[in-house]
Structure 1
Amino acid sequence: MRSEPPAISGIPLTGVVCGLLLASLALTPSLVPRPTVFQGFLSGLWFMIGYGLGTPVHRVGSWLLGRIRTRRWFPASRPLHSASRTGLLVLATMLLVLYVVIYSGLVVSWQNEVRALVEMGPVDGAGHLRFLIAMVVTMSLCYWIFRGIGALRVMAARWARRRGSGPGRARAMGLLAGLLASFVLVAGLVGAGLGAVGSIYAARDAQTLEGSRRPELPLRSGSPDSILAWDRLGRQGRAFVGGGPSAAAIARVGASDATEPIRVYAGLGQGVDLAERAELVVGELERTGAFEREVLLVATPTGSGWLEPQAIAALEYLYAGDTATASMQYSFQPSWVSFLFAPELSTQSSSALFDAVHARWKQLPASDRPKLAVYGLSLGAQGMQGHFADLGDLLDRTDAALFTGPPSNSQPWRTLQAARDPDTPIWQPTYRGGASVRWQSKPGDFANLAGTWNQPRVGYLQHATDPITWLDASVIYQRPEWLAGPAVEGGRGSDVSDAMRWIPGVTFLHLVTDMLVSEAVPPSHGHNFGDVALDGWAQVLPGHGRSDAQLASIQAVLETIDTHDPIWE
């Protein structure tokens, strides 16, 4: 006779215990704090997954217990009387309630500690309420989905029995139907989700971001003089060429000789392939006189074509507008979609554009060439780095490089991290004394190393709390170096909670979900680098002549720039 799980008022006790276990894991500290609604959704989802596993876990446990008893490893216990069974269930209920109360207090303490470390205020009462509502709604939706799958499983088993199948075969048919329904549901949700994302971002790419205006100056793509039409630049391309500081704005921070920066961009609708699109960009650079500027920047955008406004504007302010920035779109999808389904695109695009620009740049007399710099954020950093064979190749072909928040599989970043100098932490490494490449989390980190920083220079901007940088498959089964011990002992970054522990599989899932909200934290944490872009450029491209007072004025202006909610770009 099959053993059924004990229940509290009809709710399987094993399911509740398994659900609480998974929800408890979902609420353990991670790198960055999550919005309360998002955390409530995750907790409810994890609880219901555990709840759904409760019955099979109970049955497997009962089967194992039966096998142990048949081998007489310990005597079989007598069946409990109804009163004793009720008493045990009441006791179990009280213990579960006590656990929830105590653990809830611990969770609030953890979350507020994580928030404090990244300079955010504690969660208030309204936040707790939003969390509970989101969790209950998620659990309710999942419950009815489970009920529907269960009903389908019962129907399949009955159908099999009516056709003469034995009890075992009927149960197998029911189980198969349930698994098939679950697979179809998940595949349908994923497929519908990706389809919706594609449709939404295709529509977004055709739109013009509020505040973006078609440039009139001939120094911008999309202007009346441009060979690249405004309406085909894509949403982010139009935002890029239609934004940024003017010569007048640059002059207001102390550059009396300011000039209008050049911005060149090609959208997906321009050129039949990457090579042709890159040639169009070079043509625009020629037309605008970009090869006569002091600095020529080749920048790879994120998946949707977005270029971080503060990073580009920082360079333009720093060099009084005597700059030209070239970029081109390779997708309209958000970075995570491009990363999962077309990870090679960013590198292919970077290669096409850099090679085309570099070939024309090499034709100039060495004394007349602008400083050639490269830049990329996140997927853009991975793509631009991936074009170069190694650090030596990067140093040979550029005058400066700045890579922000590189993903964990970026090269040569990954090799450099692994080969860092002994006794330097993985989140703030030193490579060969900082002679060619350095890392920065806060302004001033580049300059803190005592040795000489030769030119050309490569700089990495990265944070100890950036899940995009630390997401790696090895975290599933191996404790990462960035969680080696307490912060006071140098085992983790100073803004990583000591309460965060490596849990096999769970920590990896935390990183996956943290990626979605990694920008929703103040600068100096997560995937937000707005406060280090200026100092980064000032260090990797010295010779700008700006005073400390001017740099402070520029930084104050950069902090007012609207980054257009980059979380989903």
Structure 2
Amino acid sequence: MNLLRRIAAYLGAHLANLLCGLALASLALTPSLVPRPTVFQGFLAGLWFMVGFQLGFAVRGLWRVLAGKLAGKFPRTNPRVEAEVDAEAEPRGRPRTAALIPVAVGIGLLVYVVGYGALVVSWQNRVRALVEMEPVDGAGHTAFLLSMFATMAVFYGIARGIGALRAPAGRRVSRRGGSERRARWASRATGLVAVLALVAGLTGAGLAAVGWIYADRDAGTLAGSVQPVLGSRSGGPGSVVDWDGLGRQGRAFAGGGPSAANIADVTGAPAQEPVRVYAGLSQGADVRERAALVVDELVRTGGFERDVLLVATPTGSGWLEPQAIASLEYLYGGNTATASMQYSFQPSWVSFLFDPEFAAESSRALFDAVHARWLQLPEGDRPRLAVYGLSLGAQGMAGGFEDLDDLLARTDAALFTGPPANSQPWRGLQANRDPGSPIWRPVYRGGEQVRWQSKPGDFAALGGAWQQPRIGYLQHATDPITWLDPAVILQRPEWLAGPAASGGRGADVSDSMRWIPGVTFLHLVTDMLVSEAVPPSHGHNFGDVAVDGWAQVLPGHGRSEAQLTSIQSVIERIDTHDPIWE
């Protein structure tokens, strides 16, 4: 009974906090573009609840201020008489009834939590089904609850610690003769400073830790990355760049991929050793020196003598999607050369936040250097010149050109995968798409030179003539990186215009997902962190569409349907080494 009284007292004293916390946790659990791992979802629910709980104090304070103003504006005419009337009108059982109110509120909250929890499970399993994932089971529910309560406990401890700092500040002001109001403000200011210091400290420590971790990772070598024994790879015999200086992802690129024998086994046709050249961040004082090294490597390896020359921009850490590079090599029997260079060792989101122009600057330097050497070749002896980028790499590579016309004039093909929302010319093309075409799979000028694809076959399904040079965008309706636009904070996006059946959203976007001001943007931010943890054809996973993408954007490979099927089966088995953190 004592415990019930204490619970009732706590509910009565903190009802506003609990309601605010429950409201934010409920919003955190509304459907988003991609399903989240249960532990991560539990962390988010616990975090949002504790943020809401703290906001409840502000709500309570605001209510007291408003109540005070209303009481002053409408004072009782005779407080003594009204008190006597209230006392006579109040039944004897009122105190007991009043004591039961918090209990009833608690039961109501419990019913809401259970009912809403069932709805959340239904929402999440529907989202999982749309992206071809298994529903959450009992173990998943347990992991969610444990993660949520652990998060709440940690942040509750932090809040209590900050509260312990506030009290002495208020007492100190009171002892010095300050008014009660000044003591309250001193206490609040101390709490605010503590919160800001904690956030700043955690942010600084987090960024420092990320820098240290990725610097250490860049010095390491991925399992399976072996120093080349052939001269057609950077870091191999005769290379002008050292193997140790290529960086972790540069070594994975130069030391990985299919050999001529692999390609011949898969396609059943003779093949060459693909050329792969790369310069690491430490190789050259700046982007121009690194670009010059890459050109030297292309000359040394005979890259300018191949049928296709690909200039590729990596993600922030220097990573190149192995499916995209290998697909082109299989399609053209190894008669290819791929050139790239590193501009950072940090993950893409760090580069995007703190130096978003560096990817474009690096891309421009590399392409201009390669293009200048390419122009020196006799016109009939030049390889077809293509460009490629994934995510931040797509933004960087496309951003290295002045506009669409410049891109078309200087390349023979371009394939951009999962471009971020502020990429150009992607953003302008989306905005000026043909009327009636959806934003997640737009049509621009009938697809004459630019087309979009989500699944294999989308490029060709548009029909009509696709002139060369061709530009292709690989884009999914459920990719949060593509739709993460600050405009979503205050404006409903076009990709959530209505239900999927009427064309208001992509077929794999849940109809239960609704635009909520501010909340939807935060959903996109958190979805971005797990956008690779879904099967191909969804989120930020494009492994299954690379073969068809290159086959359509850069025709002339001569592969039969049987060969394409064989290549596709190999590409889908490639391990991407958890690229979301790259």
The letter for the 2-side match of 1:28 is T
Shift, 1:91, TM fit: 1.3
- The residue aligned with 1:36 is 38
Shift, 1:376, TM fit: 0.1
Q: In terms of mean alpha carbon deviation, does 300-309 or 10-19 score higher?
A: 10-19
- The residue aligned with 2:189 is 176
Shift, 1:567, TM fit: 1.5
The letter for the 2-side match of 1:566 is P
How many percent of aligned residue pairs carry the same amino acid?
A: 70
The letter for the 2-side match of 1:540 is V
- The residue aligned with 1:482 is 495
Rounded to whole Å, the distance in 1 between the matches of 2:29 and 2:518 is 14
How do residues 81-480 of structure 1 correspond to structure 2 at under 5 angstroms?
82-480=95-493
How do residues 528-547 of structure 1 correspond to structure 2 at under 5 angstroms?
528-547=541-560
SS at match of 1:233: helix
Rounded to whole Å, the distance in 2 between the matches of 1:31 and 1:473 is 16
Shift, 1:68, TM fit: 3.2
Cα displacement string for residues 422-480 of structure 1 (whole angstroms, at most 9, x for unaligned residues): 00000000000000000000000000112100000000000000000000000000000
Rounded to whole Å, the distance in 2 between the matches of 1:73 and 1:384 is 69
Q: In terms of mean alpha carbon deviation, does 395-404 or 554-563 score higher?
A: 554-563
- The residue aligned with 2:571 is 558
User: Which residue of 57, 67, 70 corresponds with 2:69?
Assistant: 67
Cα displacement string for residues 26-71 of structure 1 (whole angstroms, at most 9, x for unaligned residues): 0000000000000000000000011111122022123223333443
The letter for the 2-side match of 1:13 is L
Shift, 1:401, TM fit: 0.0
Cα displacement string for residues 501-533 of structure 1 (whole angstroms, at most 9, x for unaligned residues): 000000000000000000000000000000100
Cα displacement string for residues 274-324 of structure 1 (whole angstroms, at most 9, x for unaligned residues): 000000000000000000000000000000000000000000000000000
- CA 83–270 in structure 1, closer or farther in 2 if over 3 Å, else same: same
Shift, 1:354, TM fit: 0.2
Higher helix share: 2
Shift, 1:366, TM fit: 1.1
Rounded to whole Å, the distance in 2 between the matches of 1:392 and 1:209 is 39
Q: How does the TM-score come out when normalised to structure 1?
A: 0.97
User: Which residue of 505, 518, 522 corresponds with 1:492?
Assistant: 505
- CA 74–434 in structure 1, closer or farther in 2 if over 3 Å, else same: farther
- The residue aligned with 2:4 is none
The letter for the 2-side match of 1:393 is D
Shift, 1:159, TM fit: 1.4
Q: CA-atom RMSD, angstroms?
A: 1.7
The letter for the 2-side match of 1:65 is A
- 1:7–1:13 contact (8 Å) kept in structure 2: no
- The residue aligned with 2:59 is 57
The letter for the 1-side match of 2:191 is G
User: Which residue of 16, 25, 30 corresponds with 1:23?
Assistant: 25
SS at match of 2:190: helix
- 1:304–1:335 contact (8 Å) kept in structure 2: yes
- CA 240–21 in structure 1, closer or farther in 2 if over 3 Å, else same: same
- 1:255–1:320 contact (8 Å) kept in structure 2: no
Rounded to whole Å, the distance in 1 between the matches of 2:127 and 2:220 is 37
Cα displacement string for residues 144-169 of structure 1 (whole angstroms, at most 9, x for unaligned residues): 10001111011111111122211111
- The residue aligned with 2:537 is 524
Q: In terms of mean alpha carbon deviation, does 420-429 or 10-19 score higher?
A: 10-19
Rounded to whole Å, the distance in 1 between the matches of 2:503 and 2:279 is 45
- 1:8–1:93 contact (8 Å) kept in structure 2: no
- 1:522–1:528 contact (8 Å) kept in structure 2: yes
The letter for the 2-side match of 1:131 is F
Rounded to whole Å, the distance in 1 between the matches of 2:12 and 2:243 is 63
Rounded to whole Å, the distance in 2 between the matches of 1:420 and 1:256 is 41
Structure number with bigger Rg:
2
1:501 counterpart = 2:514: yes
- CA 74–382 in structure 1, closer or farther in 2 if over 3 Å, else same: farther
Aligned residue pair count: 565
Cα displacement string for residues 60-90 of structure 1 (whole angstroms, at most 9, x for unaligned residues): 1232233334434999996995423322111
Rounded to whole Å, the distance in 1 between the matches of 2:73 and 2:454 is 61
SS at match of 2:25: helix
Rounded to whole Å, the distance in 2 between the matches of 1:560 and 1:346 is 29
Rounded to whole Å, the distance in 1 between the matches of 2:534 and 2:467 is 34
Rounded to whole Å, the distance in 2 between the matches of 1:386 and 1:23 is 39
SS at match of 2:471: strand
- CA 501–296 in structure 1, closer or farther in 2 if over 3 Å, else same: same
- 2:331–2:559 contact (8 Å) kept in structure 1: yes
- 2:12–2:102 contact (8 Å) kept in structure 1: no
The letter for the 2-side match of 1:173 is A
Q: In terms of mean alpha carbon deviation, does 199-208 or 85-94 score higher?
A: 85-94
Rounded to whole Å, the distance in 1 between the matches of 2:430 and 2:70 is 50
Rounded to whole Å, the distance in 1 between the matches of 2:580 and 2:386 is 26
The letter for the 2-side match of 1:539 is Q
- The residue aligned with 1:3 is none
Rounded to whole Å, the distance in 1 between the matches of 2:268 and 2:413 is 23
SS at match of 1:401: strand
- Structure 2, unmatched stretches of 5+, are 1-7
The letter for the 1-side match of 2:57 is T
Cα displacement string for residues 514-556 of structure 1 (whole angstroms, at most 9, x for unaligned residues): 0000000000000000010000000000000001110000000
Q: In terms of mean alpha carbon deviation, does 355-364 or 47-56 score higher?
A: 47-56
- CA 135–87 in structure 1, closer or farther in 2 if over 3 Å, else same: same
The letter for the 2-side match of 1:22 is L
Rounded to whole Å, the distance in 1 between the matches of 2:160 and 2:44 is 20
Rounded to whole Å, the distance in 2 between the matches of 1:445 and 1:223 is 39
- 2:267–2:330 contact (8 Å) kept in structure 1: no
- 2:11–2:106 contact (8 Å) kept in structure 1: no
Rounded to whole Å, the distance in 2 between the matches of 1:39 and 1:208 is 32
Rounded to whole Å, the distance in 2 between the matches of 1:11 and 1:285 is 72
The letter for the 1-side match of 2:124 is Q
Cα displacement string for residues 364-414 of structure 1 (whole angstroms, at most 9, x for unaligned residues): 111100000000000000000001111111000000000000000000000
Rounded to whole Å, the distance in 2 between the matches of 1:499 and 1:219 is 52
- Structure 1, unmatched stretches of 5+, are 1-5
